[in-house]
Amino acid sequence: MTVKFNYPLAMIAFRQLFNRKRQTFLTLLGISVGVMVLITAVSLMDGLLQSFIQKIVEIAPHVIVSGEKVKPTVPDQLVDSDSSTQVRMIKNVSRSDQEVIKNYPRVETLIKSDSLVELVSPSVSIDVIGMFGTVSQPIQLFGIIPSLENGIEKFSQNMVSGKFDELEKTPDGILLGSTVAKDLTAKTEDRMQLVSPSGKVYSVRVVGIFMTGINDIDDNCYVNMRLGQNIGGFSPDETSNLYIRVKDLPKDGIVARTIEQVTNYKAETWEQKAASVVALFKMMSGIVYFLVFFVILVAGFGVANVLITNVLEKARDIAIMKSLGFKRSEITLIYMLQGTMVALVGAAIGCLLGFVMIEILSSIPMVSSSASAIRTDRLLMGKNPVYFVAASLFALIVSLIAAVGPSRNAAKVNPVEILRGER
């Protein structure tokens, strides 16, 4: 090896490692595998979360306005205040516990006046029973204005069969989520029945089936706004929700707060809606990282091991270096450098292996499972340089911590004892 001799400490560190090829190699392997496993795990967990968020952002409303009031309704005064008796009461007219947005076209205009809002789509939600042949099952039904809702949920891109445009042209048409279609065994052009909460039966025709990959959405079915309002018993200017897409996503929180102030209706962002799923993802990630942490920890023991052996075996050389005028701090540095070298080379190899691992894993076809929040045919691996930097940094820190003990012991070597002990 011809390496420049400008830095004697680094040279000593390097050559001592290089002279113990097998042990150094095994230690490198430990670090590499640790870094690889860490990168793969982070990529897997982060990939799942990111693709979930991306999907949501792509096909779910950014802000959902519901009929719930932010501030409670002010009681109506029934008797003039100057009279001796006062009676106050809240009108008890709410339909079961359904909360609705009244006079929604006005609210919609109000919301649209915010320049950050791209699209507002009213949506009536009703719990119904769907029946096809002998199969019946509860369905979350939505009454929508197809052209508007398509701008939010992007049905037309996710059609499995039929045409999305048909819905607008078919007053009694219904669009089925793939999960519902599978459960009911219904196909496009089939006729099926919906039973409303009040017990009325509506006959509808399946115009298409869609699949987004997000199970929450694929469980839903969609009809035209008018039909939805009829089934749910809403008046023509009432809706249960307004779905909003914002122009600049990070500002969805601002939009939601503005809407709450202006309309007094509760507005939730997708982050709030998806919080529980995101939290679940984070908890899973936490468990995985915790396990991977031990892999790196074991690699750290490897580093400590190679350094302890080096220091023990090199006690004589350390003594001689001290007698030549190397200081304690420099002896410490030699072994800290060894820890750093092993960590850096190990991390570099680990990054390479991690990259290969991600490529391999993300190319393996997988049977989709309906148990997860999103459905895919492959593992969704995240690809972000940050994983590599973070994993390398972590390996470096663990190695340096592992190197501290042996390095200090090296500095403590008493040259007199060693030089004397030789005879």
Interface residue with another protein among 74, 89, 324, 371 (CB under 8 A) is 324
48 binds another protein (CB under 8 A): no
316 binds another protein (CB under 8 A): yes
Interface residue with another protein among 103, 264, 323, 363 (CB under 8 A) is 323
Residues 6+ apart with CB under 8 A from 109: none
Q: 6 or 276: whose CB is closer to another protein?
A: 6
Interface residue with another protein among 88, 95, 328, 378 (CB under 8 A) is 328
Please, is 182 exposed, middle or buried when counting C-beta atoms within 10 Å of its C-beta (0-12, 13-18, 19+)?
A: middle
Where does this chain touch another protein (CB under 8 A) — which range of 10-18, 88-96, 216-224, 341-349?
10-18
Interface residue with another protein among 55, 245, 322, 375 (CB under 8 A) is 322
Q: How far is the CB of 21 from another protein (least distance, A)?
A: 12
Residue 421 CA to residue 410 CA, distance in Å, equals 17
Q: How far is the CB of 384 from another protein (least distance, A)?
A: 40
Residues 6+ apart with CB under 8 A from 394: 35, 38, 296
Residue 245 CA to residue 249 CA, distance in Å, equals 8
Interface residue with another protein among 195, 320, 390, 400 (CB under 8 A) is 320
E strand or H helix at 274:
none
Interface residue with another protein among 132, 164, 326, 335 (CB under 8 A) is 326
- Pick out residues in 379-418 that bind another protein (CB under 8 A): 415-416
Query: 107 by DSSP, 3-state: which?
Result: helix
Where does this chain touch another protein (CB under 8 A) — which range of 2-10, 138-146, 179-187, 205-213?
2-10
**CA 225: distance to chain centroid?**
32
317 binds another protein (CB under 8 A): yes
Q: What residues are paired with 174 via a beta bridge? A: 206, 223
What Cα–Cα distance (Å) separates residue 288 from each residue in 40, 45, 386? 11, 8, 18
Q: How far is the CB of 338 from another protein (least distance, A)?
A: 12
Q: How far is the CB of 414 from another protein (least distance, A)?
A: 9
Q: For residue 412, which phi and psi values (nearest 5 degrees)?
A: -80, -10
Q: How far is the CB of 353 from another protein (least distance, A)?
A: 29
Residue 295 CA to residue 398 CA, distance in Å, equals 11
Closest CA to 290 of 14, 42, 60: 42
330 binds another protein (CB under 8 A): yes
Query: 65 by DSSP, 3-state: which?
Result: strand
Q: 325 or 385: whose CB is closer to another protein?
A: 325
The tokens describing 315, both together, are 């006690």
Interface residue with another protein among 94, 264, 420, 421 (CB under 8 A) is 420
Instruction: Give per-residue burial for 67-104: e unless 16+ CB within 10 Å, then b.
Output: beeeeeeeeeeeeeeeeeeeeeeeeeeeeeebebbeeb
Polymer length of the chain: 423
Q: 8 or 75: whose CB is closer to another protein?
A: 8
8 binds another protein (CB under 8 A): yes
Contact criterion met (CB below 8 Å) for 328 and 81: no
- Size of the residue set binding another protein (CB under 8 A): 30
Q: How far is the CB of 22 from another protein (least distance, A)?
A: 16
Q: What residues are paired with 175 via a beta bridge? A: 208, 222
**Residue 99 backbone class (left: φ over 0; alpha: ψ -120 to 50; beta: rest):** beta
Where does this chain touch another protein (CB under 8 A) — which range of 105-113, 151-159, 317-325, 351-359?
317-325
Q: 11 or 116: whose CB is closer to another protein?
A: 11
Where does this chain touch another protein (CB under 8 A) — which range of 3-11, 68-76, 106-114, 162-170?
3-11
Query: 44 by DSSP, 3-state: which?
Result: helix
Residues 6+ apart with CB under 8 A from 86: 77, 79
Closest CA to 13 of 347, 301, 3, 397: 3
Where does this chain touch another protein (CB under 8 A) — which range of 4-12, 158-166, 333-341, 397-405?
4-12
Pattern 60-99, binding to another protein, x per CB under 8 A?
A: ----------------------------------------
Interface residue with another protein among 321, 374, 381, 398 (CB under 8 A) is 321
Binding residues (CB under 8 A) for another protein: these are 4-6, 8, 11-12, 15-16, 18-19, 316-317, 319-330, 415-416, 419-420, 422-423
